[in-house]
């Protein structure tokens, strides 16, 4: 039977006592009893394979990945209270209202840390060194920059409430963290356990969130770790699973399922919730890719009637699949054409119904490929 851990009593400067939760080590055999987990696991694996197959057969797949990452970044950050929507996240910083720039920067740090980590997975195995480097980017120059980005905490933290006295949950004491993280790292690479990757990923997310190894950014880092684990185990080729969307929509159930493990050792409830998140998000991702293929075909058909502008039109279309909100300066720079040419090709896209004006001001006017953006925001 899974034992989540136990509470330990500590004295805070002789003023009062508090109890931190000390999780059991995770690098051990694990068996589940609920047959629904086996059924859900099979379905989750099948759908993830289908989702990942799009990465192999969609030409120019890299143009389509950015939107998946932006979607994951905005929803994961939203769980932590940022207000940036996808349409905002796609704009350059100078077009963001000053009072919303902090949120925008947090989302962009998430995007950057995801890119950095995936790039480094080619050279490094999944390890705490990679996690710490990623965390450093996640918190650089934003609200958590004073909370030791990239460094494991050396003090006690807590979740909910204003202090240790009234905290909702108190993670393990900082002196336990080195041992817990070393155990977690061994768990990632212990082939003798014979655990399916998705079960291992579910257990990892629970354990990481319970350890809460950083002073800030643990939620975002723990969700980012899900993607990294799937990529490092070749379940996904690219970060095409925006699982935080499910967690954000079912935020209460997400936190309850994690808390239930600590309260009653019910890890199976968390695993079922996690697998349902994989299943639903995979289905959504597959549907998005199917509609992208359909939309691309429809747009290319329209561009085929552009005559000598056909070639440049196809190049602009590809660019729009990674940046669906553009202006003439961007197009001029990206396609290496004069500003006037960029302007007239944009107008052709507007007439063809591929683009529509986003802003009415003539100066630095922007345009949006709304039908495409809607696939990620509806």
What's residue 362's pLDDT?
Answer: 62
CA dihedral 298, 302, 307, 312 (to 10 degrees): -60
Q: What pLDDT score was predicted for residue 145? A: 63
Please state which CATH class domain 308-377 belongs to.
mainly alpha
Find, among 68, 90, 48, the residue nearest to 245 by Cα.
Answer: 68
According to CATH, the topology of domain 5-22+33-288 is Fic-like fold (1.10.3290)
The CA distance from 355 to 320, in Å, is: 9
As beta bridge partners, residue 368 has 325, 356
- Strands ordered across the beta sheet of 325-327: 325-327, 366-368, 356-357
pLDDT of residue 144: 59
Over the stretch 129-179, which tens digit does the pLDDT of each residue have? 999 999 999 998 876 566 789 999 999 999 988 888 899 999 999 999 999
Q: Where are the strands (E) in the chain, listed by range?
A: 5-12, 16-23, 325-327, 356-357, 366-368
Q: Where are the domains of the chain?
A: 5-22+33-288, 308-377
pTM: 0.94
Yes or no: say if 359 and 365 are a contact pair by the CB < 8 Å rule.
yes
E-assigned strand segments in 132-274: none
SS3 244: helix
Q: What is the pLDDT of residue 361?
A: 65
Report, as ranges of residue numbers, the positions in the chain whose pLDDT lies below 50. Answer: none
pLDDT of residue 104: 92
Burial 141-171 (b: 16+ CB within 10 A, else e): ebbbeeebbbebbeebbbeeeeebeebebbb
């Amino acid at each position: 039977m899974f034992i989540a851990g136990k509470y330990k009593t500590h004295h805070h400067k002789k003023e009062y006592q508090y109890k931190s939760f000390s999780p059991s080590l995770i690098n051990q055999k694990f068996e589940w009893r609920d047959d629904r987990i086996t059924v859900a696991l099979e379905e989750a694996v099948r759908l993830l394979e289908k989702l990942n197959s799009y990465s192999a057969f969609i030409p120019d797949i890299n143009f389509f990945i950015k939107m998946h990452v932006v979607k994951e970044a905005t929803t994961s950050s939203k769980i932590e209270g940022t207000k940036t929507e996808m349409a905002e996240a796609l704009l350059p910083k100078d077009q963001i209202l000053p009072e919303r720039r902090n949120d925008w920067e947090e989302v962009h740090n998430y995007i950057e840390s995801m890119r950095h980590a995936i790039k480094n997975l080619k050279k490094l195995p999944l390890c705490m060194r990679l996690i710490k480097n990623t965390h450093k980017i996640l918190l650089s120059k934003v609200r958590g920059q004073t909370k030791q980005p990239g460094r494991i905490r050396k003090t006690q933290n807590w979740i909910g409430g204003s202090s240790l006295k009234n905290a909702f949950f108190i993670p393990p004491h900082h002196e336990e963290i080195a041992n817990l993280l070393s155990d977690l790292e061994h768990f990632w690479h212990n082939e003798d356990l014979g655990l399916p990757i998705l079960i291992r990923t579910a257990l990892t997310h629970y354990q990481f969130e319970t350890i809460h190894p950083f002073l800030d950014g643990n939620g975002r880092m723990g969700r980012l770790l899900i993607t990294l684990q799937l990529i490092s185990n070749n379940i996904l080729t690219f970060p095409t699973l925006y699982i935080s969307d499910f967690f954000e929509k079912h935020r209460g159930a997400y936190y309850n399922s994690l808390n239930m493990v600590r309260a009653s050792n019910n890890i199976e409830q968390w695993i079922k919730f996690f697998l349902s998140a994989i299943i639903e998000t995979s289905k959504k991702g597959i549907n998005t890719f199917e509609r992208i293929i359909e939309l691309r075909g429809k747009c290319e058909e329209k561009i085929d009637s552009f005559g000598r502008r056909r070639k440049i039109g196809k190049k602009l279309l590809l660019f729009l699949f990674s940046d669906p909100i553009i202006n003439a300066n961007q197009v001029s720079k990206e396609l290496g054409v004069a500003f006037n040419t960029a302007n007239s090709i944009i107008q052709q896209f507007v007439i063809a119904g591929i683009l529509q004006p986003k802003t009415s001001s003539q100066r630095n006017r922007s345009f949006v490929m709304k039908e495409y953006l809607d696939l990620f925001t509806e």
